[in-house]
Amino acid sequence: MNKILIVGHQNSGYRDVEHILLDCGMKPARKSKNQGLSTIEIGLTLRRAHGCGELDGHRDIQQIDAGPVWNGLALDLLMNNIDQKFWGWSDPDAIYLLDYWKSLDPKMAFLLVYDEPHRVLREIGCDEARFCTRETVEARLESWSIYNRALLAFYLRNQSRSMLVNARQVRQNADAYLKQLQSYLDDHVRLSGPVFSNGAFKSIFSQKGSGGTIGQEGHALSATALSFSALADGFLVESILSEYPEYQQCYEELQASATIPQEVVDTSGAKAFEAWLIQMKRYSETGRAIAILTEKKQRVENELIELQVERKNLNAELSNSNNIKKELTEENGVLLVQLHQVQEELELYRFESRENQRLGEEKALLEKSRQALAEEKQGLEKKLKELQRQQDFLQQESKSASEARNALTEENGVLLVQLHQVQEELELYRFESRENQRLGEEKALLEKSRQALAEEKQGLEKKLKELQRQQDFLQQESKSASEARNALTEENGVLLAQLHQVQEELELYRFESRENQRLGEEKALLEKSRQALAEEKQGLEKKLKELQRQQDFLQQESKSASEARNALTEENGVLLAQLHQVQEELELYHFENRKLRQRLSPDYYGAADRLKKELPYQLGAVIIERTRKIWPVLFLPVSLSRIVQTYRKQEKKSEEKLPPLTEYRDYHEAEKAQKHLSYRLGQVWLRHSRKPWGWFVMPFALAKAHRAYRDYRQSI
């Protein structure tokens, strides 16, 4: 056999027996291979599945009859420990599973540990003893009796695979115990470890209620008084147990059947006087301890008063620092207001500069347009003068022709009247022609003013061509009149023919008169257009004058703006110098304030430990632990939800206000911990669990975080 299951009552001292074996080469049991369950967790699962609760002291202990369906849990545990030559574990609750483990593995030995009932009463704690009653003591003793009777019954049925040992005897004579245990083990298993001479093995578990040391500044209760106290307790416990002989009888049955029983020591010589004397010594030692504690309390109160005074001084310094900080904040506010005002003035100045620049450009364009109009006006005036000279020349020619006609009229009386009529009509036509010429010129000028510059130029050219044609027509008329004069002078006979010709011309003149009437109507329309253009011209002249005044005003404004800009530049230089000086003073105040704050604030350490106690890190750790196996993953959301609820409740109950992590001296350790996989997974879980659709992408987000962590680890 190479596996040992150690079973004993909670007050039996089975831990001491286990530690002896661990010191002598026994290995602790590993967790199961697939599900990661420990031996304690496997036992707890089986008991819950079969409805076994805690020992209540009112019913006997029955062995659990676990079916084959539960063998997988234990087999998984055995498979993970198959390479260990000698291993085992202890579990007081395994009293229900002794038959289960016996039937599962024939190479498993059972070490059954017991102790006297006196230990049950000795290990009642001080806080528990304040509310202890006779019923409580009887319930504890009854539970001890039921447990050890079940232990004895199993031992009597399986003596070949089990040992019934007394824990106190094992501590007193460990060598004999190990030699006898060796006979139950396989040949290849050899117990090796420290040699316990004369049974000198000291338990690592101090007994509750048997006394202890009170250490303050090197003072302690004497070991002799403590040993006397143990004897006094034994005398009192013996007196109580004398009222319950059935439990003493159970202990004697265990002693009679045990593999390693407790050696009987005769204590009949103990006297009540000796117990009283020992108790008085205990009172003396207790008084000394109380005096020491009182002295310490006084020192602590004095230190507390000093700390309160120091805290008061620090609060005063902190108040002064806050006042200085408040003054600096107000000064900063004033400086910021001034700075904003300067910026607004600069923006206004820039806007005015842009407006002045735009107006200057518009002024330049207007000046160019005015120059072009002036040049075109000069050209048109020259053309009008030339046309006026031509018109005067034609009038002179027409006057000479009129004189010739008058001479011919004197020679021929009949024709004279007709010629006078024709002359009058001709004069009227010429007058109308001159009017038409003038109207044409005015029309050309008005068309030029009304249309665009290019269209006006083309219109004027067309009008000039029309006037040229009229001039040619008048020249032809003058030439024909001259020919007629020569013909009248040479031959009077042809006057009749000329008269007919003049009549035809008269018809033509009448036609032209109708045309002139139409031109008169057009003249009226053109006159109206001319008046409108004249009004527009006046408006343009007014606008030109207004623009001239605006130009003068803008020049003055530009000059004043230039002067204001120079003044603002100087003021800005002064303000910038003052601002730099204020910033330097502010930096100095901030530096002094930081030094003062560093001097007042305490040094905090443990940033990484605090981060690991936070909710994201705890959730990530649980995710990593549960995802190593298959079946715990199914219950992972429920487990994490419980952890979140527990953390929120504790956070609400906690009244401790911790400083920010950045104020810790070892904050860099917290930054390293934030890069751990646990913290990353916890953050991903919290971020996606707040939204309903986050649960669907949760596995992918966790996988992504795991890949990012793996890439980060590879890049280090």
The model's pLDDT over 332-346, given as tens digits with 9 standing for 90+, comes to 677 777 777 767 776
**Amino acid present at 107:** K
* Structure tokens, 525: 């329309």
Q: What is the mean pLDDT of the chain?
A: 75
- Report the pLDDT value the prediction gives residue 464, as an integer from 0 to 100: 59
pLDDT (mean) for 497-519? 65
pLDDT of residue 402: 61
CA 456 to centroid of chain Cα atoms: 71
| Alpha-carbon separation of residue 537 from 107, 369, 376, 447, 543 (angstroms) | 128, 15, 15, 13, 10
What single letter denotes the amino acid at residue 111?
A: L
Give the residue from 399, 424, 393, 606 showing the smallest Cα distance to 502.
Answer: 424
Q: What is the DSSP letter of 26?
A: P
* pLDDT tens digits, one per residue of 534-579: 687 777 778 767 767 876 777 787 677 678 777 777 877 777 777 7
Q: What is the pLDDT of residues 296-347, one digit of tens each?
A: 888 888 888 888 887 888 888 787 777 887 777 777 677 777 777 767 776 7
Distance, in Å, from the CA atom of 194 to the CA atom of 197, rounded to the nearest integer, reads 9
Greater model confidence, 587 or 392? 587
pLDDT computed for residue 165 by the predictor: 92
- Summarised one tens digit per residue, pLDDT across range 60-72 is 788 888 777 788 8
- pLDDT, tens digit, 9 for 90 and up, residues 77-111: 888 888 888 899 999 988 888 888 888 888 889 99
Q: Which amino acid is at 352?
A: E
Name the DSSP letter for residue 259.
S
Maximum average pLDDT range among 409-413, 556-560, 641-645: 641-645
| Integer Cα distance of 121 and 233 in angstroms | 10
Residue 166, SS3?
Answer: strand
Long-range pairs for 534-539 at CB < 8 Å and ≥24 separation?
536/449, 537/449
Q: Distance between CA atoms of 76 and 14, rounded to whole angstroms?
A: 26
Which segment of 126-135, 487-496, 598-607 scores lowest on mean pLDDT?
487-496
- Per-residue three-class SS string for 60-88: CCCCCCCCHHHHHHHHHHHHHCCCCCCEE
For the stretch 181-224, pLDDT in tens is 887 777 666 676 554 544 444 443 343 333 443 444 444 444 44
The pLDDT value recorded for residue 199 is: 43
H-state helical runs in 111-222: 118-122, 126-129, 134-157, 167-172, 174-182
* Contact by Cβ (8 Å): 4, 110: yes
- Half-sphere exposure (CA, 13 Å, Cβ side) for 355? 12
pLDDT digits (tens, 9 = 90+) for 510-529: 676 676 677 667 666 767 76
Q: Residue 475: what pLDDT?
A: 62
Mark residue 113 as left, alpha or beta (left: phi above 0; alpha: psi -120 to 50; beta: remaining). Answer: beta
Is the pLDDT score of 12 beyond 70? yes
Give the amino acid at 230: A
Identify the helix (H) or strand (E) that includes residue 165. strand 162-166
- Split at pLDDT 50, 70, 90, the class of 426 is low
Q: What is the percent of the chain with per-residue pLDDT over 90, rounded to a whole number?
A: 6
User: How many Å from the N-terminal Cα to the C-terminal Cα in the chain?
Assistant: 49
- How far is it, in rounded angstroms, from Cα 550 to Cα 366? 13
What is the rounded distance in angstroms from the CA atom of residue 568 to the CA atom of residue 545?
Answer: 33
Dihedral sign, CA of 196, 200, 206, 212?
Answer: negative
Phi (first) and psi of residue 209, to 5 degrees: 85, -5
Using the Cα atoms of residue 628, residue 629, residue 633 and residue 639 in order, give the sign of their dihedral.
negative
Q: In degrees rounded to 5, what are phi and psi of residue 445?
A: -65, -40
Q: What angle do CA 349, 352, 357 make, to 5 degrees?
A: 125
Q: How confident is the model at residue 229 (pLDDT cuts 50, 70, 90)?
A: low
Cα-based distances in Å from 353 to 54, 343, 347, 561: 93, 15, 10, 8
pLDDT, residue 559, reads 78
- Rounded to whole angstroms, the Cα distance separating 438 from 432 reads 10
Q: For residue 389, name the pLDDT band (cuts at 50, 70, 90).
A: confident
How do residues 27-54 score in pLDDT, each as one tens digit?
A: 999 988 888 888 888 888 888 888 876 6
Nearest to 295 by CA among 227, 192, 218: 218
User: Residue 387 in contact with residue 467, Cβ under 8 Å?
Assistant: yes
CB 61 within 8 A of CB 147: yes
Dist. CA 308–CA 560, nearest whole Å: 68
**pLDDT score for 222:** 42
The structure tokens listed for 715 are: 């890049």
Report d(CA 470, CA 463) in Å as an integer. 10
The residue with tokens 């072009």 is: 372
Q: In the chain, what percentage of residues exceed pLDDT 70?
A: 65
Write the DSSP symbol of residue 604.
Answer: B
Quick one: pLDDT band at residue 594, thresholds 50, 70, 90? confident
13, 171 contact by CB (below 8 A): yes
* pLDDT band, very low/low/confident/very high, at 157 (cuts 50, 70, 90): very high
> What is the rounded average pLDDT of the residues 223-239?
57
Torsion, CA 580, CA 584, CA 590, CA 594, rounded to 10: 150
> For residue 226, is pLDDT > 50?
no
Take residue 581 and report the two structure tokens written for it.
């000086």
Of residues 245, 227, 260, 5, the one with CA closest to residue 111: 5
Could you tell me which of 176, 182, 180 has the C-alpha nearest to residue 195?
A: 176
Nearby residues of 368 by Cβ (< 8 Å), 6 or more positions away: none
> Residue 224 has what pLDDT?
46
Cα–Cα distance, 145 to 81 (Å, whole number): 34
Cβ count near 399 (within 10 Å): 9
Q: Do 477 and 427 contact (CB within 8 A), yes or no?
A: no
Pairing assessment for the beta strands 87-90 and 162-166 based on DSSP bridges = unpaired
Q: Angle at CA 583, nearest 5°, toward 577 and 585?
A: 105
